[in-house]
Amino acid sequence: QVQLVESGGGLVQPGGSLRLSCAASGSIFSGNTMGWYRRTPGNQRELVARIMRGGSIVYADSVKGRFTISRDNAKNTVYLQMNSLKPEDTAMYYCNAYPSFLPWGQGTQVTVSS
């Protein structure tokens, strides 16, 4: 069964950093573009960043220059390094393939607040 397990969220002050990780089943990881998404209450999920199998990357304008997505194909893991965090980055963060055709994991909560 396909599983996505996100971790690394938490409470951080504005300007701080967090690193999120997402472990994925090997059978669905290696051949797919992977993405990080986020959702705030009352809003739809939005794509934050995506990384192709070969490493090509696209970021949402709101996180460019602050977030870095990466992947380790050997470990079936995708990461999101988040720097210079802002209160508006507060959300539940999820990983999925891009487009998002896999069952969603439980997500990891990121809260940016002083």
Inform me whether the pLDDT recorded for 31 exceeds 90: no
Tokens representing 109 are 């909560």
* Residue of 86, 81, 83 whose CA lies nearest to 113: 86
| Predicted confidence band of residue 105 (pLDDT cuts 50, 70, 90) | very high
Cβ neighbourhood burial of 56 (10 Å; 0-12, 13-18, 19+): exposed
| Percentage of the chain lying above the pLDDT 90 cut | 78
Q: Can you read off the two tokens belonging to residue 27?
A: 């059978």
Nearest to 13 by CA among 86, 80, 93: 86
Confidence of residue 4 (pLDDT cuts 50, 70, 90): very high
Angle at 4 between CA 91 and CA 56, to 5 degrees: 80
| pLDDT at residue 54 is higher than 90 | no
